Structure 1
Amino acid sequence: MHRTSGILLHPTSLPGPFGIGDLGPSARRFVDFLASAGQGLWQMLPLGPTGYRESPYQCTSSFAANPLLISPERLLEAGWLRESDLEPPPFSADRVDFGAVEPWKTALLARAMAGFEAHADDADRAHYAHYCETHRFWLDDYALYHALKTHHDLRPWTDWEPELAQRDPGALAEWSERYRSEIDLQRFIQYLFYRQWFDLRAYAGSRGVRLIGDMPIFVAHDSSEVWTHPEWFDLDEHGHPRVIAGVPPDYFSDTGQRWGNPLYRWSALADDGYSFWVERLRRVLEMVDLVRIDHFRGFAAYWEIPASEATAINGHWVPGPGMDLFRALRAALGEDLPLIAEDLGVITEDVEALRDALELPGMAVLQFGFEDLADGFGRSAFLPHNHRERLAVYTGTHDNNTLLGWWEGRDEAMRRHALTYLNSDGREVNWDFIRAALASVASLAVFPMQDVLGLGAEACMNRPGTAEGNWLWRYREEMLDEGAASRLRELTRLHGRLPYAHG
């Protein structure tokens, strides 16, 4: 693995006039910033259509993409929208207002489909038909699911009529005909994302930037896959989860984290060679160069919580599929799976054994290194002097406070220790942490964009255990100044992390 570094930024956080970051010009400008700053990686959060609380970790499909990321400007360039279509309401430039953006963008995409039908050439039509055919294995189910969910005022599939919730073939055929236009629109929307995404990926590649995706281990209960294949999940006769996913009490919460995702029936998945996982990972690897698998420890053992419990405290560990799953993935997708194992939290020897047997890099978060003081200062595996080469080191993740926000909340003793360790005067502690990550022997070093910009807690992306105010942060275009790019590039050069294209 080439020694390199990069920035963690979800596309929703990009600037622009349309209320949410998208795959348009600002995405290319961010790629340009990465290239000028000597960064070889752009890491993102999951790209699926968000469901509960707009969390990218609770998507309504494991295969579909978020339509809110489609660029209106790119649709104008394609000739499928008019200039007058790109007159948005006065959206906030600093935060995503999902409630306002969704209806505006949905109406815009419907107009784009009308424009496509009126103006697309033969090559575009053939490309679209080929996309629908090659993605039919998930696209048709998702399009029908979305149409039914819209008709039912976004209620979960378990609240639909029994014949729809239980997928009676006659009822599905009837509703498929009734909502044909809405189903066609959903297919087209996914095609638009696909087309824009691969244009952006090609551009990033031309600038020496590789993309890191993110794949949650679990899927949302209210999703196309659980509705389509309830036999893969531990559900009761009404389709509700009997047990759910989460983690025991940890750094983020004294009562643990009750995620609510249904748990897999791993034996059922194994019976057909883990085809769901094979196709899921294949889909992500078509889109990105590396994949961070969230909650990797769940493959060794996962925390099972009775669905009736209000918190995650009264759960227990259950063995996961382990190497059996990865043998199937390797057989289908190749021996050298380009994965990063998110191995944070309660990590035991079996988790480390699985990670190391697969020769996957794990993760180290520098913020945790200065808080893990059970054995005294300097013992934490997250501190740079204890790093190994097969590792991805982060100043923080989307679940952490920003570096400066976190620093403000530390006690004086911990600050003094950290400043001594970092040989810092404390004036620009975010850059001191970035330098420490770059200097690590870890092959990969990644920093949230908020840490590069030196932003405080107001720019936090997610606060685990809280339901409101997450996933909203955006930066402004003027924040990308040349000074930050040149400073980051010089530090990256000094520590031997420039992409090959930079020499």
Structure 2
Amino acid sequence: MSIPRSSGILLHPTSLPGPYGIGELGAQARTFLDWMAQAGQRYWQVMPLGPTGYGDSPYQAFSAFAGNPYLIDLTTLKEGGLLTDADFAAMPAFDAARVDFGVQYVWRTQMLERAYAAFIGGHAAHLAPAFAAFKTEEAGWLDDYALFMALKDAHGGLPWNAWQPGARDRDPAVLAEYAARLAPAVERVKFIQFLFFGQWAELRAYARERGIEVIGDIPIFVALDSSDAWANREQFHFDDRGQPTVVAGVPPDYFSETGQLWGNPLYRWDVMEHDGFCWWIERFRGSLKLFDVIRIDHFRGFAAYWEIPFPAETAMHGRWVPAPGDALFRAVRAALGDLPIIAEDLGVITPDVEQLRDDFALPGMAVLQFAFGGGDFSVNAFLPTNLKVNQVVYTGTHDNDTSRGWWAAASEDERHNYRTFTSSDPQEDTFAQDLLRLAWESRANLAVAPLQDVLNLGTGARMNLPGSTGDHNWTWRMPAADLRPDLAAGLRALTERTGRLAPL
């Protein structure tokens, strides 16, 4: 993939402002895209858009293909006749600064159920042909996902490997019985997905009209409690009761002394390779319907992954296992052509990972917050002078502290190295802008900053702390007033000066 010299902003849609407690795919998203266009930005990077469950992480979704119902814009549904003013009469008091996912789970679910009830009651009847076409086109994943979610509700929200054995093990007679009994719930799930994909398609079209493309994530692994694992059990390391025998994570690293125990089931790569990686090809095909560019999270896992015996309390005791990344990407390329992929090659990177990335000419990543540690920092691959052209440079990512927060907590060695490299002595209230300028001035073709860094926000605006399940993870929301015209003008001036004003 060849990326033009350009720049972009990382902001997950849940962080957008709005009246209903979470960012949505409506007016505020369009306002943000207008601001991005004014600022001269080419790419909007988002995290996975799947339906989140326990822990609220977009990297632990109930489906690798479905969309998150929380993002559906309710105002659009009201304007389309699927909701009325009366439906909003008992609206909770929402926190403008934080997402309360528990409230969203209860209240928004009720609102979407009312929208579906209105539809089957004859409102917005003009949507019926498009809904029927959507169900046919997306049946490959939608049928399993809709039944999975209906079964999950029928089992009190329990994970699929705690369901009654016939449902857990996908006994055809049991599934047929459930499908008949739960038909209204199954159809409702499908309709809600139809609403999500329709709104997302309209928002992407709006972005493209303004010269903006969307970068979105493919997490390498799927959640244990997902329709993907339930419907494709033979392609994962499960025992006969649906318990994983080994799970995913990473060994001790920058983020955690005991590693990160993700708990995702691991693939049976031999089975996947035997059927030509069909599931992966469909996953990439689905992602191309959502995004213009795909960032593969934890790319190094396609060369070798950290296998942890289940159960485990930490990720410390595992082993590296080779993965058939070369065969996989060749199969995907043969089926879909050259794909616009960014490889998230952070962490423990070995020559086999670099070889896999370079064999397919994929741009890797660099994070400037990682550039100034260690003794002889001049050899740090993330130092601006050491970056490559075919690379994406970030001030920080969703897993980092904000740049202002990072500087406030930086070690004296890191501060010294930064001062030595830049011949400057930044203050806490100017550091984020200084780091952003270094990213934009670098030779890397694409420079990206989290919106928190553009807004010069501190640690309180951090999106996620890896290895934790803190109440603040994934909850940050942007105040609407922060998207000021002067910030757009300043960012555009920097983008022009550094040669990154790249039209579509």
Q: Do they superpose with TM above 0.5?
A: yes
- Cα distance in 2, alignment partners of residues 28 and 185 from structure 1: 27
1:39 maps to 41
- Cα distance in 1, alignment partners of residues 143 and 419 from structure 2: 56
1:240 maps to 243
- Cα distance in 2, alignment partners of residues 263 and 413 from structure 1: 39
Q: Which moved more, 1:194-203 or 1:423-432?
A: 423-432
1:418 maps to 418
Partner of 2:28: helix, strand, or coil? helix
Residue 7 of structure 2 corresponds to residue 5 of structure 1 = yes
2:25 maps to 23
Cα contact 2:251–2:260 (8 A) shared by 1: yes
The one-letter amino acid paired with 1:405 is: G
1:493 maps to 496
Q: 2:168 aligns with which of 160, 165, 170?
A: 165
Cα contact 1:21–1:69 (8 A) shared by 2: yes
Q: 2:452 aligns with which of 430, 450, 453?
A: 450
The one-letter amino acid paired with 2:434 is: D
2:85 maps to 83
- Cα distance in 2, alignment partners of residues 128 and 27 from structure 1: 24
Cα contact 1:248–1:315 (8 A) shared by 2: yes
TM-score, normalised by the number of residues in structure 1:
0.97
Residue 439 of structure 2 corresponds to residue 437 of structure 1 = yes
Cα contact 1:422–1:436 (8 A) shared by 2: no
Mark the runs of 5 or more structure 1 residues left unpaired by the alignment: none
2:299 maps to 296
Residue 335 of structure 2 corresponds to residue 332 of structure 1 = yes
Per-residue deviation, 1:119: 4.5
Q: 1:215 aligns with which of 215, 218, 222?
A: 218
- Cα distance in 1, alignment partners of residues 98 and 78 from structure 2: 24
- Cα distance in 2, alignment partners of residues 393 and 462 from structure 1: 19
2:63 maps to 61
2:131 maps to 128
Per-residue deviation, 1:78: 1.6
- Cα distance in 2, alignment partners of residues 103 and 308 from structure 1: 32
Cα contact 2:371–2:380 (8 A) shared by 1: yes
- Cα distance in 1, alignment partners of residues 69 and 12 from structure 2: 14
1:406 maps to 406
- Cα distance in 2, alignment partners of residues 47 and 500 from structure 1: 26
Residue 231 of structure 2 corresponds to residue 231 of structure 1 = no
1:352 maps to 354
- Cα distance in 1, alignment partners of residues 87 and 189 from structure 2: 20
Per-residue deviation, 1:379: 1.2
- Cα distance in 1, alignment partners of residues 117 and 422 from structure 2: 58
2:72 maps to 70
Cα contact 1:404–1:457 (8 A) shared by 2: yes
- Cα distance in 2, alignment partners of residues 121 and 69 from structure 1: 20
Q: 2:287 aligns with which of 245, 260, 284?
A: 284
Cα contact 1:422–1:432 (8 A) shared by 2: no
Per-residue deviation, 1:423: 4.4
- Cα distance in 2, alignment partners of residues 121 and 379 from structure 1: 61
The one-letter amino acid paired with 2:128 is: R
Residue 390 of structure 2 corresponds to residue 387 of structure 1 = no
The one-letter amino acid paired with 1:409 is: A
- Cα distance in 2, alignment partners of residues 84 and 497 from structure 1: 48
Residue 202 of structure 2 corresponds to residue 196 of structure 1 = no
Partner of 2:379: helix, strand, or coil? coil
- Cα distance in 2, alignment partners of residues 414 and 299 from structure 1: 32
Per-residue deviation, 1:413: 3.9
Partner of 1:279: helix, strand, or coil? helix
- Cα distance in 1, alignment partners of residues 86 and 422 from structure 2: 54
- Cα distance in 2, alignment partners of residues 422 and 196 from structure 1: 45
Per-residue deviation, 1:123: 4.5
- Cα distance in 2, alignment partners of residues 168 and 230 from structure 1: 13
* Superposition RMSD in Å: 1.2
The one-letter amino acid paired with 1:134 is: E
Aligned residues: 498
Cα contact 2:295–2:344 (8 A) shared by 1: yes
Q: Deviations over 1:225-269 (max 9, x none)?
A: 111111000111111110011111100111111110010001111
Partner of 1:500: helix, strand, or coil? coil
Per-residue deviation, 1:181: 0.8
Partner of 1:139: helix, strand, or coil? helix
Q: 1:48 aligns with which of 32, 36, 50?
A: 50
Per-residue deviation, 1:14: 0.3
- Cα distance in 2, alignment partners of residues 27 and 423 from structure 1: 39
Q: Which moved more, 1:183-192 or 1:43-52?
A: 43-52
Cα contact 1:219–1:261 (8 A) shared by 2: yes
Partner of 1:145: helix, strand, or coil? helix
TM-score, normalised by the number of residues in structure 2:
0.97
- Cα distance in 1, alignment partners of residues 439 and 284 from structure 2: 29
- Cα distance in 2, alignment partners of residues 379 and 408 from structure 1: 24
Q: Deviations over 1:30-82 (max 9, x none)?
A: 10111011101100000001123011111111111110000001111222111
Per-residue deviation, 1:271: 1.5
Cα contact 2:53–2:60 (8 A) shared by 1: yes
Partner of 1:29: helix, strand, or coil? helix
The one-letter amino acid paired with 2:65 is: F
2:157 maps to 154
- Cα distance in 1, alignment partners of residues 55 and 124 from structure 2: 39
Per-residue deviation, 1:499: 2.5
Using the aligned pairs only, state the percent identity: 53
- Cα distance in 1, alignment partners of residues 80 and 186 from structure 2: 22
Per-residue deviation, 1:420: 3.9
Q: Which moved more, 1:72-81 or 1:159-168?
A: 72-81
- Cα distance in 2, alignment partners of residues 19 and 89 from structure 1: 9
Residue 319 of structure 2 corresponds to residue 319 of structure 1 = no
Q: Deviations over 1:77-96 (max 9, x none)?
A: 22211123234211100000
Residue 84 of structure 2 corresponds to residue 114 of structure 1 = no
Per-residue deviation, 1:116: 2.4
